[in-house]
Chain A
């Protein structure tokens, strides 16, 4: 059974940093692209960024709203995905979901999601 379990959320002051983790199990983690998607309270879904697999040199993509502040990494030996968030703003307050991206005909969609972890940026 595929499982994605996020951790590391919490309350942080504006300008602060936080590192989210996602523990994956039930599939060959190293084969897959992995993404972070967030959802502000009462709002819609916003894609945060992606890290590709080793075969694609672990390259990354980011939304403009987080580029230069957030960094995605992975440790395939630990089946883990990370989101390092720096210079946090109040508008980064959201539930952050770890997602598995499945590649079909050269395009991806998100077939598994974690339960999410809440990040609150407030003074």
Chain B
């Protein structure tokens, strides 16, 4: 199975900050990575797929990059509604796996 390790697991930041979350895969997965945002009590929402393609309707302050084993999700200027938990997910091979999550909280 492909393991995904996110760092950090917890991040405290302020409105307006630029933040970056990293996802490392245990083996190469090309660009087969998606990012999701989940707010408490809600279903996840896809932000980015194919490592860097912005899902329709997602604000442009979100961006993704990387390929192979290292990927990043960047939020260029944090907004109050961005405080949530973020997950990466690989779609390269079965079983589909998720990272453990990064909880982003207001400083």
Residues from chain A with a CB closer than 8 A to the CB of B46 are 109-111
Chain B: interface size category: 20 to 34
Instruction: Classify the interface of chain B: helix, strand, loop or mixed.
Output: loop
* CB contact under 8 A between A107 and B43, given known A44-B87, A61-B95: no
What range describes how many residues of A lie at the interface? 20 to 34
The CA of A108 and the CA of B97, in the complex, are separated in Å by: 12
Q: Is B69 an interface residue (CB 8 A)?
A: no
Contact with A along B64-107 (1 / 0, CB 8 A): 00000000000000000000000101011011111111000000
Partner of A47, one of B32, B45, B96: B96
- Do the beta carbons of A113 and B98 come within 8 Å of each other? no
Closest B residue, CB atoms, query A35: B96
CB distance from A20 to the nearest CB of B (A): 15
Q: How far is the CA of A110 from the CA of B96 in the complex (A)?
A: 11
Within 8 A of B (CB), among A78-120: 97, 104-105, 107-111, 113-116
Q: How far is the CB of A74 from chain B (nearest CB, A)?
A: 18
Question: Does A97 lie within 8 Å of B43, measured CB to CB?
Answer: yes
Q: Most chain-B Cβ atoms within 10 A of its Cβ — which of A45, A46, A47, A64?
A: A45
Give chain A's interface residues, CB within 8 Å of chain B. 35, 44-47, 50, 61-64, 97, 104-105, 107-111, 113-116
11 A-B contacts, Cβ less than 8 Å apart? A44-B100, A45-B101, A47-B95, A61-B95, A64-B1, A104-B49, A104-B50, A108-B91, A109-B89, A109-B91, A111-B55
